[in-house]
Amino acid sequence: MTMETLFGDMVEHPTEKPSGPARHRVLITVKAAPNPSITHGETVCVAGALLGDYGATGWIRLYPINFRHLPSATEDFKKYDIVTVECQPAGEARLESWKPNMSTLHVETNLPPWKRRQQLLEPIIDDAMCRIRNAASADAKARSLALVRPTEILGFRLEPHPGWSKDEQSKIDAYVNQLELDVFEEAQDKTPLEPPRFRGFYKWRCADPKCTTHEQSIIDWEFVALQRHLWNRSDEDARAAIRKRFFEEICAPGNDVAFYVGNQAKRPQTFSILGVYYPKKGT
């Protein structure tokens, strides 16, 4: 199965996931915000571009990762690091999903802004969110990760976070209680995962002529981290600071913006924004 990129390049999308383990070389592009997990307390989805001998060959999702309890040798890996890591195919339909063995992760280098990042990522940018969403809606094995350049960014909004659902809170409580009972885990951070103050959404239009616009939630780690940093600010001040960073600065007219998007395993037609790619235009 092939996918056509913004520049007309044809990149091969796998039709089946390998049955055995593999060591992947990955350019880390996004870290999603932590979510409650009954097994791990909280888990983070990390995604990036798979790298071959001559550039990016597709996308990969590394999940689950618990950043509070990573092996010490791997705890500092960050966005735009090139890493290698041993993985097992994840037990789900999405072909990009792999379960990493974090003790095997090795950081090769970090790519500074933006030239080298652009060389690897520009050839696999798409421009039609509608096409990606429709394909995933029809086939759970269709592409579930992408970098999509909007034709027009129409808006940014914030709303109060409703708090964890009953199911999410029960997962957190069960994990914290488990740690409290485990005498061999005294050094572990037992602080329950708190929900962020706000949820954020970008509204935008893709290049599909029939596009009726997209409004997608932001689940970027940095979006939540900024809110934690603003914990002592009023709602009004916090809203203004978040809007300044994620709309006025990141989506400034002089930036060549594209959105990293990924879907949900249970609702493959639902895509969220995992992060933003924003080199200066003309660089």
Per-residue pLDDT of the chain (283 residues; tens, 9 = 90+): 444 555 444 455 566 777 789 999 999 999 998 887 766 667 889 999 999 999 999 999 999 887 766 766 565 789 999 999 999 999 999 999 999 999 999 999 999 999 999 999 999 999 999 999 999 999 999 999 999 999 999 999 999 999 988 888 887 777 667 655 554 444 455 677 888 999 999 999 999 999 999 999 999 999 999 999 999 999 999 999 999 999 999 999 999 999 999 999 999 999 999 999 999 998 7
Give the Cα separation of 5 and 215 in Å (integer): 22
Residue 181 has a pLDDT of 52
By C-alpha distance, which of 45, 43, 106, 99 is closest to 71?
A: 106
Give the Cα separation of 283 and 164 in Å (integer): 42
Report the DSSP pairing between strands 214-217 and 198-205: antiparallel
Give the Cα separation of 72 and 69 in Å (integer): 8
DSSP 111-143: PPTTHHHHHHHGGGEE--HHHHHHHHHH-TTS-
By C-alpha distance, which of 87, 91, 1 is closest to 48?
A: 87
Give the Cα separation of 236 and 160 in Å (integer): 12
Q: Does residue 49 contact residue 29 with C-beta atoms inside 8 Å?
A: yes
Residue 184 has a pLDDT of 46
In terms of residues, how long is the chain?
283
Burial bucket for residue 54 (CB in 10 Å: 0-12, 13-18, 19+)? exposed
According to DSSP H, which parts of 88-231 are helical?
Answer: 115-121, 129-138, 166-181, 221-229
- Any long-range contacts for 150-153 (C-beta under 8 Å, 24+ apart)? 150/204, 150/205, 150/206, 150/257, 150/258, 150/259, 151/127, 151/204, 151/205, 151/206, 151/207, 151/211, 152/204, 152/205, 153/202, 153/203, 153/204, 153/251, 153/257
Residue 175 has a pLDDT of 63
Q: What is the pTM of this model?
A: 0.89
Residue 57 has a pLDDT of 94
Residue 110 has a pLDDT of 96
